[in-house]
Structure 1
Amino acid sequence: MGERAATSQRKVALATLTGATLEWYDFFLYGTASALIFNKQFFPSLSPAAGTLAAFSTFAVGFIARPLGGLVFGHYGDRIGRKMTLVVSLVLMGVGSTLIGVLPGFATIGVWAPILLVALRVVQGIGLGGENAGANLMALEHAPSGQRNRYAGFPQMGTPAGLVLANTVFLVTSTVLPAAAFTSWGWRIPFLLSAALVVVGLVIRMRVTETPSFAKAVERKEIVRFPLKEALSVGAGRLVLTLVLSIANSAVAYLFLVFSLSYGTAQLGLNRQFLLITVTASAVLWLGTIPLWTSIADRRGRRGMFLWGSVALLVWAAAFFPLLNTRSPAVIVVALLGMGLIIPITHCVQGAIVADTFPANVRYSGSSLLLQFAALLGGGLAPLISTAILNETGATTGVSAYITAVCALSLLAAVLAFRTAPVPTRIDAPVAA
């Protein structure tokens, strides 16, 4: 490989990691605020339990919008290229988050406050819907031979990196300011910071080149008018299995990242700072272990790793709430750090597995469709369903049963999908300069 090609690949790795981090920063910031702040600012007339449920409902709206973003950005990503669609998605997310930072609360504009909050959450969801699959493809399609999982892991690292950044900014702001000031106006500072961060992301992202796979598709005149229609031709059975195998990781991750904050503070009486610090430390572990898991996937194969990771996810999901319910700080730290270690095993290769379901000329559309619907059915609904179960039963037994069943279903789908999985679709490696 020439030095010029290697330099280009490093730029792509940095650009996909940075852009994904900033998009997930905005998305997770909303989740943290939903668990801790939005019920007071936008739903003050409701009881604490109902207010939390309402706040998580607006959180879920972002996931409902993600398939729409995936469809729109996927279509144009397969028609005009990956690069420009990723630039637009980053801008969209930044605008949505910044406007949340200046949105008046219920006490100022009444019912319009939650309505506008939902509208801006939709904007966030559309932006992330375009980013999620697109950044994965940008890295995957630039990857040198034998390092496809490693490169596809860079945008996946953006998920825990975004969480670490969001929780750190949220934690510092809430620690520096008096509690009343933070609840009143200080929570807006992390959202307003999005404007500056997006500028940094755009500068980095504009410097990367279009992917070799898309360039080859253009050269061979393989661009189709309706790429999603072509992507669906891989068959309903394979689409359904790939969708279902992707659901568990998202569901467990959002119970760990979002619902546990609300449950820990409201039901267990745990200190908010303690939970934020521990979840952030778990995300650091998640971030740091992705290069390890992707290197194993490149050397040993990602299918076996994904299956064993799915088994570990099921076991830890079943144990998670019983561990939290001990109220022992040491045991809770173990429960959360365990999530940080286990979640990345399947998360780091999930995007590459989905991408390999489709040929290069329709890969953005197909990947976006599956990844965003998996996120909706998994992460989007998990905090909402879990809160509803908890409010109805007053215990986490039903929540544990629900999340364990989701993990078992995804594991079964993975076994069936890998048994008849096709040879990975060709991805053109960059040509040496």
Structure 2
Amino acid sequence: MTESKPSPAEPASPPAEGTRSSAESKRASRAAFVGTLLEYYDFSLYASAASVVFASVFFGGSSPLLGTLQAVGTFAVGFLVRPVGGVVLGSLGDRYGRKRILVLTLVLMGSATMLVGLLPSYAQIGWLAPLLLVILRMVQGIGASAEYGGATLVAVEFAPERKRGLLGSLPGMGSALGGVLGTSALLLVSSIMSKEAFLDWGWRIPFLLSGVILAYGLWLRRSLPETPKFQRIEDSRKTARTPVRDVIRQQPRALLAVMVMAIGMTGIGYFYIVFMGTFGGNQLGLGKTDILIGLIVAQVTNALLIPLFGGLSDRLGRRPIILFGFAYSAAFAWPAFWLLSNHGSAAMFWLVLALGNGIGVASIFGPMGAYVTELFETRHAFSGLGLGRETGNALGAAIVPVVAVPLAFHDTTVWLSLLLCGIALLGLVAAAVSRTRAESEDARSRDEVRVPA
């Protein structure tokens, strides 16, 4: 695939860029990885705690059912604010720099998570407890809204051209490992403590431990220089004054492509790591331990394969790998449920999650970081990622549970296969019609050659 070239609005890369310290590139990659690790550690930790702890701690005045619904509802709030946060913080990142916003997002996420661990219970302060919990969840969502996009930009804009796919995949790997760590931390604490002690104060330990990741991430990011690409734009005074408006007017095709690909990628991912947990318990009759092992297997497999597919995209091109991931996910939707319907053992459940979330989602997620940055011009790339990806994420996370849960109670699993296949084909079409900046410029050049003087 043709690599990105500087657009006319962006100054050409100076020769010194290639000799820029490789230590800076490695440090930028670590900083990006740690940030997304913290983001998904926080999100998965909150999701697990919402279902097993928060109903009794923060919604003690409600019935068990209503308390659980309220607790899970606070988890959804984090996704609802992400598109807004992505637009606001993405715009600031395009105007004032990637580094400043990445430090801000890390502080927002880490401090909100730690404060949840210090929050008084409903029995201590009454209705203020759930109110403060919702506010902190919204702060988490705002911080997370710009974390992945900013981390990806930093990793890719510091990376040598031949390693953009590999290094751009590290934020995705961090998100997968963060999900495993968050779930595992809460499970570990609950397994070594009595139920009473765990509900009283033990659940707070994993939330407070996020401060360790926060401190390390801040140490990495505060000393990191601004990315070379943004620094050149800033030095030449070419930064966008209205980046959100600019990306909507100038690159609507790229914006729509990112949004739809995000719906497809997030929809497939949440299908396997959220909906399939419910399916395993209700339809397959698996125990909580078997389901939890399956979810961990899915996320670990995903984390291990993301850099593999990211590295392959440096050799074979971004789009072919992404198209393979969507096509594979559409095709695998059919044997997956046939295997579960006919051989619904715990081992088969684990295998399906590993093949679906591991190969399918990882082959999309791996090259996606570098690919989406190659779609947008540097001067409004942060805004494009914030608006496109976070809107797609919110829609994908909302569509799957609402549609899949009722379909699971039909006598056939054909409808579930159709849903998964449809989501994958949606992303496939978006990836197929998308164009990077370099491809768009090549097309314009060919058009100009064909037009007589």
TM superposition score normalised by structure 2: 0.84
Choose which of 367, 370, 373 in structure 1 pairs with 2:385. Answer: 367
The more displaced of 273-282 and 211-220 is: 273-282
TM-superposed CA distance for 1:246, in Å, is: 2.0
Distance 1:58 1:255, change over 3 A: farther
Distance 2:120 2:401 in 1: 25
Deviations 1:99-128 (Å, cap 9, x if unpaired)?
Answer: 222334445555444333222211111001
Which has more radius of gyration? 2
TM-superposed CA distance for 1:78, in Å, is: 0.9
TM-superposed CA distance for 1:268, in Å, is: 4.8
User: Structure 1 regions of 5+ residues with no counterpart?
Assistant: 427-433
1:131 aligns with 2:161: no
Deviations 1:275-323 (Å, cap 9, x if unpaired)?
Answer: 3233223322211112211121000111111111101122334555565
1:209 aligns with 2:209: no
Q: How many residues align?
A: 422
Aligned twin of 2:106: 90
Aligned twin of 2:451: none
1:408 is matched by which residue type in structure 2?
L
Distance 1:319 1:123 in 2: 41
1:403 aligns with 2:420: yes
TM-superposed CA distance for 1:47, in Å, is: 5.8
1:330 aligns with 2:347: yes
Deviations 1:144-186 (Å, cap 9, x if unpaired)?
Answer: 1221111111112111111122122122112212344334443
Distance 2:183 2:76 in 1: 19
The more displaced of 20-29 and 324-333 is: 324-333
Aligned twin of 1:175: 191
1:423 aligns with 2:438: yes
TM-superposed CA distance for 1:359, in Å, is: 0.9
Aligned twin of 1:22: 38
Distance 1:401 1:42, change over 3 A: farther
1:13-412 map, 5 Å: 13-42=29-58, 45-46=62-63, 48=65, 53-265=69-281, 268-318=284-334, 320=336, 323=339, 327-338=344-355, 339-387=357-405, 399-412=416-429
> Is contact 1:354-1:371 (8 Å) kept?
no
Distance 1:174 1:258, change over 3 A: farther
Distance 1:227 1:132, change over 3 A: same
Give identity over the alignment, percent.
36
Distance 1:287 1:207, change over 3 A: same
> Is contact 1:82-1:134 (8 Å) kept?
yes
Distance 2:416 2:45 in 1: 24
RMSD between aligned residues: 2.8
Distance 1:380 1:212, change over 3 A: farther
> Is contact 2:258-2:385 (8 Å) kept?
no
> Is contact 1:35-1:258 (8 Å) kept?
no
TM superposition score normalised by structure 1: 0.88
> Is contact 2:329-2:424 (8 Å) kept?
yes
TM-superposed CA distance for 1:380, in Å, is: 4.5
The more displaced of 175-184 and 287-296 is: 175-184
TM-superposed CA distance for 1:377, in Å, is: 0.7
1:178 is matched by which residue type in structure 2?
S
The more displaced of 155-164 and 80-89 is: 155-164
> Is contact 2:193-2:202 (8 Å) kept?
yes
Distance 1:25 1:396 in 2: 32
> Is contact 1:357-1:424 (8 Å) kept?
no
Q: SS of 2:241's equivalent? A: coil
Distance 2:243 2:209 in 1: 36
2:105 is matched by which residue type in structure 1?
S
Distance 1:337 1:170 in 2: 22
User: Structure 2 regions of 5+ residues with no counterpart?
Assistant: 1-16, 442-453
Distance 2:143 2:318 in 1: 29
Distance 1:340 1:354, change over 3 A: same
> Is contact 1:134-1:364 (8 Å) kept?
yes
Aligned twin of 1:430: none
TM-superposed CA distance for 1:386, in Å, is: 3.7
TM-superposed CA distance for 1:238, in Å, is: 3.9
Distance 1:318 1:82 in 2: 42
